[in-house]
């Protein structure tokens, strides 16, 4: 199904607005793109990224939700200010149950569900299902989780000539 990426991002951002306000974090949505994705799974993926971003953005910081379209793909980025993820851990964070610093979890004191280290593994699975990719970049400016959706979605139907 075709989704208006920025519309979806705005809906998800609205959902997090109260939490962001409490955390003193500014949420911003920019860009324009249309992508082919399962709406439910798309929301779950962005939701997981945004929940992380909110957890690691200091008070007064900013989170950007960005939709970008290029000729062959659509990129959805969740970028947040905060302590960078060391380069050697940028792939490991996608592993099931992996957490960079388990003692840093804020789950208990904020009353939100404790973290299990599954969020990003789920994001990657969702991107695999869409024939896309999920990867992370991090430096002193921001930490960015980037979802890349191919424009030519792999379909199960083949051209009639390829059938016996």
Contacts with Mg ion, residue ranges (CB under 5 A) = 52, 119
Alpha-carbon Rg for the chain in angstroms: 17
Which CB, 97 or 158, lies closer to Mg ion? 97
Measured distance CA(68)–CA(35) in Å, rounded: 10
Q: Greatest CA separation found in the chain?
A: 62
The site for ligand ATP, by CB under 6 A, has a size of: 20
* Residue 61 contacts ligand ATP per CB under 6 A: no
Q: Which of 47, 73, 115, 133 binds ligand ATP (CB under 6 A)?
A: 115
Q: Hunting for tokens 């910081």 — which residue is that?
A: 61
* Residue 76 contacts ligand ATP per CB under 6 A: no
* Residue 99 contacts ligand ATP per CB under 6 A: yes
Which CB, 5 or 93, lies closer to ligand ATP? 93
C-alpha distance from residue 155 to each of 12, 37, 125, 150 (Å): 27, 12, 18, 12
């Amino acid at each position: 199904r075709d989704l208006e990426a920025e519309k979806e991002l705005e809906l998800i951002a609205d959902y997090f607005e109260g939490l962001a306000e409490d955390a003193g974090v500014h949420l911003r949505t920019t860009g324009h793109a249309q992508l082919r994705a399962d709406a439910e799974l798309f929301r779950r993926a962005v939701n997981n990224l945004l929940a992380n971003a909110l957890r690691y953005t200091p008070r007064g910081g900013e989170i950007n939700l960005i939709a970008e379209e290029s000729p062959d793909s659509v990129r959805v980025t969740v970028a947040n200010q905060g302590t960078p993820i060391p380069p050697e851990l940028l792939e490991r964070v996608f592993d099931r149950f992996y957490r960079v610093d388990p003692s840093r979890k804020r789950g208990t004191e904020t009353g939100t569900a404790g973290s299990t280290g599954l969020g990003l593994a789920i994001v990657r699975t969702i991107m695999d299902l869409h024939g896309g990719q999920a990867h992370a970049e991090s430096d002193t400016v921001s930490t960015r989780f980037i979802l890349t959706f191919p424009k030519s979605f792999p379909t199960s139907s083949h051209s009639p000539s390829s059938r016996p």
